[in-house]
């Protein structure tokens, strides 16, 4: 349990500070694209009902984009953190892939979701919509004896100025 908490802390710090370490390498396309998004995800990267989070585009070169995010949820005293990394291709309509890690602190449950889906996000900001298949591997999953579950999610968010 202590090792998992250390891994989550290190991964979260790396995701949050990654963009600052490459600040001088931004292309013109990255500077004109809105990078920050707040979102609410229903199912998706979390096993339970919802996930509220923040996503930041770290790299944008033409149609290729990489983002990292961090989500959280609290349900009946259960708290989780969900760091994730996504690659998406397109200008406004994107095909998106990604991987995450969600850890539930009280139940000592974790899941590793993968993502493949559709992402609508205009370069100038505004509405974000994501629909994805998010099957996951996990440990100590409530209500399921297996370690693998097919899953899906819907995300709504807002992208805003840097």
Cα–Cα distance measured from residue 51 to residue 122, given in angstroms and rounded to the nearest whole number: 22
Beta strands in 5-101 (DSSP E): 36-43, 50-61, 64-75, 78-89, 93-100
Give mean pLDDT, residues 28-56: 85
The single residue listed with the structure tokens 């200008």 is: 91
Percent of the chain with pLDDT over 70: 78
Enumerate the β-bridge partners of residue 152.
Answer: 133
Structural domain boundaries, residue 52: 2-20+28-160
Give mean pLDDT, residues 132-136: 95
Instruction: Kindly tell me the burial class for residue 120, based on how many C-beta atoms sit within 10 Å of its own C-beta (0-12, 13-18, 19 or more).
Output: middle
CATH of the domain at 41: 2.40.160.20
- Counting the structural domains of the chain, the total is 1
Question: Is a pLDDT exceeding 80 seen at residue 128?
Answer: yes
C-beta neighbour count of 12 within 10 angstroms: 16
Who's near 89: CB < 8 A, 6+ residues apart?
63, 64, 65, 95, 96
The pLDDT tens digits of the residues spanning 75-99 come to: 888 999 999 999 999 999 999 999 9
């Amino acid at each position: 349990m202590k090792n998992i908490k250390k891994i989550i802390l290190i991964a979260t710090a790396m995701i949050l500070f990654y963009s600052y370490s490459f600040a001088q390498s931004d292309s013109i396309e990255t500077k004109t694209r809105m990078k920050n998004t707040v979102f609410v995800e229903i199912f998706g990267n979390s096993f339970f009902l919802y996930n509220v989070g923040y996503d930041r585009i770290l790299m944008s070169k033409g149609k290729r984009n990489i983002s990292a995010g961090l989500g959280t949820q609290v349900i009946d005293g259960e708290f989780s953190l969900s760091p994730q990394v996504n690659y998406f291709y397109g200008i406004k309509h994107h095909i998106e892939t990604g991987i995450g890690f969600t850890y539930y602190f009280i139940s000592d449950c974790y899941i590793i979701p993968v993502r493949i889906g559709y992402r609508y996000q205009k370069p100038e900001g505004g509405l974000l919509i994501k629909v994805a298949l998010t099957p996951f591997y996990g440990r100590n999953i409530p209500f399921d004896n297996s370690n693998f579950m097919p899953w899906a999610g819907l995300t709504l968010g807002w992208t805003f100025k840097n």
